[in-house]
Amino acid sequence: MKRLLTTATCLAMLAGGGTPALAKKYRGSEDELSARKAGREVLKELDIDLDADGTRETAVVERIGGGRLVARVLRFEGDPEEGRFTEVVAGTPKKAKRVARFEARPMVGGPSPELVVVLEDPSPDEVAVSVRVIGATDAGLQELFADTFLVPPKAEAEGPEITFGDASPHVVFADVRGGDGQEEVVWYSGPQTLVLPGKDGPVRFVIGAYRSVFAFVPEKGRFERVAQGEVEDFAAAKAVSEVKASAQVPKIWGTSQPFWGADGDLETSWNVPAKEAKGQTLTVRLKGSPEVRMVRVVPGCGGSEVDWRRHQRISKFRVVLGSGQRFEVDRTALDELPAGVEAMGEFPLEEGFGAQVLIALKRPASTPWIRFEILGLEKPELRKGERVEEACLSEVSFH
Ligand SMILES: [Ca+2]
Ligand SMILES: [Ca+2]
pLDDT tens, 75-118? 988 888 888 889 999 999 999 999 999 999 999 998 999 999 99
Together in a domain, 327 and 275:
yes
What CATH number is given to the structural domain containing 65? 2.40.128.460
CA-based nearest residue to 396, from 270, 235, 242: 270
What CATH number is given to the structural domain containing 355? 2.60.120.260
> How would you class 164 by CB atoms within 10 Å of its CB: exposed for 0-12, middle for 13-18, buried for 19 or more?
buried
CB 310 within 8 Å of CB 163: no
Q: Which of 201, 234, 267 is the last residue of a domain?
A: 234
Q: What is the mean pLDDT of residues 25-47?
A: 73
Could you tell me the distance, in angstroms and rounded to a whole number, from the CA of residue 309 to the centre of ligand 1? Answer: 69
CA-based nearest residue to 299, from 378, 224, 221: 378
Could you tell me the distance, in angstroms and rounded to a whole number, from the CA of residue 74 to the centre of ligand 1? Answer: 10
CA-based nearest residue to 378, from 338, 329, 326: 329
Together in a domain, 37 and 73:
yes
Task: Give 165-168 contacts, CB < 8 A, sequence gap 24+.
Answer: 165/206, 165/208, 165/209, 165/232, 165/234, 166/209, 167/191, 167/192, 167/206, 167/208, 167/209, 167/210, 167/234
Residue 50: nearest ligand to its CA? Answer: 1
Together in a domain, 263 and 371:
yes
Together in a domain, 36 and 126:
yes
Q: Which of 202, 234, 266 is the last residue of a domain?
A: 234
Together in a domain, 168 and 101:
no
Together in a domain, 344 and 217:
no
Higher pLDDT, 18 or 43: 43
Together in a domain, 332 and 365:
yes
- 37-58 in b/e form (b: 16+ CB < 10 A) is eeebebbbbbbbebbeeeebbb
Mean pLDDT of the residues in the chain:
90
pLDDT at 398 over 70: yes
Q: What is the mean pLDDT of residues 143-170?
A: 91
Residue 140: nearest ligand to its CA? Answer: 1
Q: What is the mean pLDDT of residues 242-247?
A: 95
Could you tell me the distance, in angstroms and rounded to a whole number, from the CA of residue 87 to the centre of ligand 1? Answer: 13
Could you tell me the distance, in angstroms and rounded to a whole number, from the CA of residue 103 to the centre of ligand 1? Answer: 16
Residues 125-147: tens digit of each pLDDT: 999 999 999 999 999 999 999 99
Domain with 269 in it: 240-398
Could you tell me the distance, in angstroms and rounded to a whole number, from the CA of residue 219 to the centre of ligand 1? Answer: 22
Could you tell me the distance, in angstroms and rounded to a whole number, from the CA of residue 75 to the centre of ligand 1? Answer: 8
Together in a domain, 86 and 209:
no
For the residues of 178-189, what is the DSSP string, one character each?
TTSS--EEEEEE
Q: Give pLDDT, residue 56.
A: 94
Together in a domain, 85 and 192:
no
Could you tell me the distance, in angstroms and rounded to a whole number, from the CA of residue 262 to the centre of ligand 2? Answer: 5
Pairing of strands 161-163, 201-217: parallel
Together in a domain, 142 and 160:
no
Together in a domain, 121 and 253:
no
Could you tell me the distance, in angstroms and rounded to a whole number, from the CA of residue 72 to the centre of ligand 1? Answer: 14
Number of domains in the chain: 3
Point out which residues pair with 130 in neighbouring strands: 119, 148
Q: Give pLDDT, residue 8.
A: 41
Residue 53: nearest ligand to its CA? Answer: 1
Residues 169-226: tens digit of each pLDDT: 999 999 999 889 999 999 999 999 999 999 999 999 999 999 999 999 999 999 999 9
Position 255 confidence tier, pLDDT thresholds 50, 70, 90: low
Point out which residues pair with 153 in neighbouring strands: none
Residue 393: nearest ligand to its CA? Answer: 2
Could you tell me the distance, in angstroms and rounded to a whole number, from the CA of residue 11 to the centre of ligand 1? Answer: 11
Residue 284: nearest ligand to its CA? Answer: 2
Q: Phi and psi (nearest 5°) for 367?
A: -140, 135
Together in a domain, 248 and 390:
yes
Q: Which of 133, 153, 173 is the last residue of a domain?
A: 153
